[in-house]
Chain A
């Protein structure tokens, strides 16, 4: 039996949405705890302490970490050797979001962009966002979920740099984005950067970077060095947790890149709030579901 059942995908999509809002990934919690230990500014230490306590309260009492149920974003990653009905799986994810919203219940944070009406389901035209990818591995489907909060999502930036702007232009743009965002994206943030490609690919890569566990360097040593350098520079700005001053402005800087046109160098920056919410599950044709982050 190699068929992936839409019903199981729907149930998993629902569970992932709720779990992502309640339980933070271990890498995020560890990064927050490390930051709290290192922080020298008293107010900043207190704020980081509130964040850590909040994570604990959310887990022990089964509460949402943040009120923002976000824009639901999914990645459906399909392994080799499986039989599946693609459109049915996409519909199953939408159904999972609706069920999570109505049954938990969750706040519906999704509305029409012009008339602002809210369907009260966290779904709508093209929402949830679902990216479909293919895995090298065989025998399972991976479903990843990120409820992207608006405070940080509103702090997304794109600049079409030129070759003459060079590497310094990239560094300058990233730092300016972080300073201009100030306390609005709920720092300490995870800074996702996409370099190269086209305008849309650059932003997609910036988003790709924040799916990575916090503090996982890019496998390319030159890119990893740029990540480390930018993280140090950002944390030297003194913006601190919630923009109220301190040493901890970012938990990590993560970069993804693509080759680009000889005349251009797009750079996209997206900020993820301190919660770094994401959840993942592997779904097998025999009905097993393995949960992770």
Chain B
């Protein structure tokens, strides 16, 4: 299991090199978006005002403080990705994003997009926002402030991670492996519990 230190925008080659179980740490630009942001982009058909090509998208809606016209990050964490599952294909195909940082994983449908379009899902420890915030150097830009806190955010990060490659572009899916094993064990556990009763 390899360790990578990467700076977006990511190339096809960089993304295809990543395999499930690898660890990634990021420097540079990361975009923050989630439910309302993606609904605006896809359901309301408003193109994102930032160039997402090769980009890394973090499923987040941060706590911020506005000081002299710019935003300071107070708490930047990560939300459950599955709610944004149906937007994965569009983010990769139409806007060229390459990686999604989230928690809890995405569906088999999203995995197909990662395979076909060269994308990757990077898992972060959910709820660990204090640590994550110390890895955010600045909020460089924000669009769609009317969606606060679910605006489109551009963060500058240093050492964001460790992130686990949990879904890769080769069909690898850590969540599916763990789920399949849990389903298998569930049968055994039921049998044991029901005998005891």
- Please indicate whether A and B come from the same complex rather than being unrelated chains: yes
Q: Would A50 and B104 be within 8 Å (CB), given that A64-B63, A107-B61, A244-B166 are in contact?
A: no
Contact with B along A242-273 (1 / 0, CB 8 A): 11110000000000000000000000000001
Q: Does A129 sit at the interface, judged by CB under 8 A?
A: no
Partner of B178, one of A47, A54, A244, A274: A244
A83 within 8 A of B: no
Which A residues fall within an 8 A CB radius of B? 43, 46-47, 50-51, 53-55, 57-58, 61, 63-69, 104-109, 116, 118, 120, 149-151, 154, 166-168, 171-172, 175-176, 179, 182-186, 229, 233, 236-245, 273-275
Shortest B173–chain A CB gap in Å is 11
The chain B residue with its CB closest to the CB of A55 is: B130
**Interface pairs (8), CB distance under 8 Å:** A54-B129, A64-B133, A68-B77, A105-B64, A150-B80, A175-B189, A242-B126, A243-B175
B residues sitting closer than 8 Å to A (CB atoms) are 36, 60-65, 74-80, 82-83, 103-105, 123, 125-134, 148-149, 162, 164, 166, 174-175, 177-179, 181-183, 185-186, 189-190, 193-194, 196-197
Q: In the complex, A5→B195 CA distance in Å?
A: 57
In the bound assembly, the distance between CA atoms of A271 and B130 in angstroms comes to 22
A54 adjacent to B185 (CB under 8 Å): no
Closest to B147 in A: A118
Residue pair B179, A151 in contact (C-beta under 8 Å): no
Cβ of B82 to closest chain A Cβ, rounded Å: 6
* A-chain residues with CB within 8 Å of residue B186 when the two chains form the complex: 175-176, 179, 237
B125 with A242: CB separation less than 8 A: yes
Q: A54-B131, A168-B193, A237-B189 are in contact. List 4 more A-B contacts (CB 8 A).
A: A51-B128, A66-B128, A151-B104, A182-B105
Chain A residues near B149: list those with CB within 8 A.
107-109, 118
User: Hey, which chain B residues are within 8 Å of A65, CB to CB?
Assistant: 127, 129-130
Contact of B175 among A168, A182, A238 (CB under 8 A): A182
Interface secondary structure of A, over-half rule: loop
B76 close to A67 (CB less than 8 A): yes
Q: How far is the CA of A66 from the CA of B133 in the complex (A)?
A: 10
**Are B181 and A243 in touch, CB under 8 angstroms?**
no
Contacts of A245 in B (CB 8 A): 174, 177-178, 181
Contact partners of A151 in chain B: CB under 8 A: 79-80, 103-104, 126-127
Q: Is the CB of A154 within 8 A of B127?
A: no
Q: Tell me, rounded to whole Å, the shortest Cβ–Cβ distance linking A81 to chain B.
A: 41
Most B CB contacts (10 A, CB to CB) among A55, A57, A116, A242 go to A242
